[in-house]
């Protein structure tokens, strides 16, 4: 399992900069990878995704950001997460995530879930669901914790991995083979959460870590006439008469300045009239109606659907609990879309299909999407969540039994990085979700560690 390189201690920002980067985008922005700039009359070699984009524009005009993201990340053959030759995670890949930094992350997530089950529906068997499991590291760490409680693991009925990439599934299968052979439960893969069987008599524990940030977003701008969609067009196509968006870019620290954003083959244009999709997205949240003309926002219908599906699984079946962990905040974002390549933030149009693309998560939108089905808690910072769950105690225990001074350093460095107030600890947020009616006499409004202390 890839863990942090031990030479990087967690004792300052400069050491972070040498570490494999996370995707929230607060690292070294002086070194942004920009889109290929025009040299002479050439933009460089077209990626396969760009060929599809050009064909699409030729057929039906400028494309939406959600189509661009869907193609770039999820195209069955050329999408970023679909290609077998992409390392994606770790030092060889483009970024690193919390479960890959330290086993403690998955352990504490599992402990929270077991506590919810014990506090509420302990008589029911349970299943564990993960959305977007990446290399399977988080699930592996969670299953190891469950195994340590024999009475609990005896009630584990099935494990469900929601993953739409065959390449990722193969990695997960390899990682989880041993746990699945040793455990007495079924392990299943699904393309979408809707495929998971409805079960009234099973408690569900669900986790989505850095899943929502990878879902497509649309970008819309408010004008005097209503919501217009911000679209993507070839930057050198004179037949496209659309105007450029008017609103200012927000202060996303990872975004290249506007002057450098149209240096590629692609540029942002504004649909000339309000579009049906723009109008619908503008109605997605009551918060949007009071925004002033000129405001541009990112709205993810895919995230709303996924959040609603989480609500249905947890809220209308045998009860359950969920944790959604991601970067973002309890607010909307206007310009957080960015790409990642080789541990650096890249221009969004850098190399479609070759770079990861991500956007901050609007946690309020997720909560609004499931509010009638479940009880939501937070989000609180990852720092607060892990600290209240006892990460320092766990780190000390692991450090005491470390096999070498390097391993001890690695454990302590990992814990510190996960809760760093200048980095992951604050940038990542944790949203708790529980069923409104989890068990008799259970108070779903008071869920540790989301309750203010």
Ligand X SMILES: C[S@@+](CC[C@H](N)C(=O)[O-])C[C@H]1O[C@@H](n2cnc3c(N)ncnc32)[C@H](O)[C@@H]1O
Q: Where along the sequence are the contacts to ligand X (CB under 6 A)?
A: 81, 97, 99-100, 132-134, 138, 162-165, 168, 209-211, 214
Name the minimum Å distance from CB 238 to ligand X.
Answer: 36
Name the minimum Å distance from CB 350 to ligand X.
Answer: 17
Of the pair 132, 254, the CB lying nearest ligand X is at: 132
Of the pair 134, 320, the CB lying nearest ligand X is at: 134
Of the pair 344, 442, the CB lying nearest ligand X is at: 344
Of the pair 97, 252, the CB lying nearest ligand X is at: 97
Strands 266-270 and 226-234: antiparallel
Name the minimum Å distance from CB 368 to ligand X.
Answer: 20
Q: How far apart are CA 341 and CA 21, in angstroms?
A: 10
Of the pair 8, 89, the CB lying nearest ligand X is at: 89
Name the minimum Å distance from CB 136 to ligand X.
Answer: 9
Of the pair 20, 334, the CB lying nearest ligand X is at: 20
Name the minimum Å distance from CB 318 to ligand X.
Answer: 23
Name the minimum Å distance from CB 429 to ligand X.
Answer: 14
Name the minimum Å distance from CB 302 to ligand X.
Answer: 7
Of the pair 197, 201, the CB lying nearest ligand X is at: 197
Of the pair 164, 277, the CB lying nearest ligand X is at: 164
Name the minimum Å distance from CB 345 to ligand X.
Answer: 15
Name the minimum Å distance from CB 100 to ligand X.
Answer: 6
Please report how the helices 166-182 and 137-147 are oriented relative to each other, as an axis angle in degrees rounded to 10. Answer: 10
3 state SS for the chain: CCCCCCCCCCCCHHHHHHCCCCCCCCCCHHHCECCCCCECCECCCCCHHHHHHHHHHHHHCCEEHHHHHHHHHHCCCCCCCCCCCCCCECCCCCECCHHHHCHHHHHHHHHHHHHHHHHCCCCCCEEEEEECCCCCHHHHHHHHHHHCCHHHHCCEEEEEEECCCHHHHHHHHHHHHHHHHHCCCEEEEECCHHHCCCCCCCEEEEEEECCHHHCCCEEEEEECCEEEEEEEEECCCCCCCCECCCCCCCCCCCCCCHHHCCCCCEEEEECCCCCHHHHHHHCCCHHHHHCCCCCEEEECHHHHHHHHHHHHHHHHCCCEEEEEEEEEECCCCCCCCEEEECCEEECCCCCCCCCEEECCEEHHHHHHHHCCCEEEEEEEEHHHHHHHCCHHHHHHHHHHCCCCHHHHHHHHHHHHHHHCCCCHHHHEEEEEEEECCCCCCCCCCCCCCCCCC
Of the pair 168, 321, the CB lying nearest ligand X is at: 168
């Amino acid at each position: 399992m890839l863990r942090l390189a031990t030479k990087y201690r967690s004792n300052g920002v400069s050491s972070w900069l040498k570490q494999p980067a996370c995707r929230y985008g607060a690292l070294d922005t002086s070194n942004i990878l920009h889109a290929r700039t025009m040299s002479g009359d050439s933009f460089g070699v077209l990626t396969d995704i760009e060929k599809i984009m050009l064909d699409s524009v030729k057929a039906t005009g400028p494309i939406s950001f959600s189509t661009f993201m869907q193609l770039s990340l999820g195209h069955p053959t050329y999408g970023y997460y679909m290609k077998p030759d992409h390392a994606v995670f770790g030092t060889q890949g483009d970024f690193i995530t919390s479960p890959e930094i330290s086993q403690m992350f998955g352990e504490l997530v599992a402990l929270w879930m077991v506590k919810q089950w014990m506090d509420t529906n302990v008589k029911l068997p349970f299943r564990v669901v993960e959305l977007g499991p990446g290399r399977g590291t988080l699930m592996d760490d969670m299953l190891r914790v469950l195994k340590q409680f024999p009475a609990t693991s005896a009630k584990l009925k099935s494990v469900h991995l929601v993953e739409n990439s065959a390449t990722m599934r193969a990695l997960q299968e390899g990682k989880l083979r041993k746990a699945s052979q040793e455990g007495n439960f079924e392990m299943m893969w699904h393309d979408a959460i809707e495929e998971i069987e409805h079960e009234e008599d099973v408690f569900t524990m669900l986790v989505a870590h850095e899943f929502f940030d990878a879902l497509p977003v649309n970008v819309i701008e408010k004008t005097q006439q209503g919501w217009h969609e911000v679209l993507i067009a070839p930057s050198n196509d004179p037949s496209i008469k659309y105007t450029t968006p008017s609103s200012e870019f927000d202060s996303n620290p990872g975004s290249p300045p506007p002057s450098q954003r149209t240096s590629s083959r692609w540029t942002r244009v504004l649909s000339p009239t309000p579009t049906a999709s723009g109008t619908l997205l503008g109605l997605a949240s009551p918060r949007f109606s009071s925004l002033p003309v000129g405001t541009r926002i990112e709205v993810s219908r895919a995230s709303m659907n996924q959040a609603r599906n989480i609500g249905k699984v947890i809220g209308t079946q045998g009860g359950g609990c969920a944790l959604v962990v991601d970067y973002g905040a309890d607010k909307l974002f206007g310009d957080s879309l960015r790409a990642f390549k080789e541990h650096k933030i890249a221009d969004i149009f850098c190399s479609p299909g070759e770079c990861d693309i991500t956007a901050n998560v609007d946690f309020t939108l997720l909560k609004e999407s499931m509010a009638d089905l479940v009880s939501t808690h937070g989000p609180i910072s990852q720092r607060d969540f892990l600290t209240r769950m006892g990460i320092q105690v766990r780190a000390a225990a692991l450090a005491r039994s470390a096999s070498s001074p390097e391993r001890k350093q690695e454990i302590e460095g990992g814990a510190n990085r996960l809760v760093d107030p200048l980095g992951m600890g604050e940038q990542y947020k944790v949203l708790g979700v529980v069923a409104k009616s989890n068990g008799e006499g259970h108070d779903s409004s008071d869920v540790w560690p989301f309750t203010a202390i």
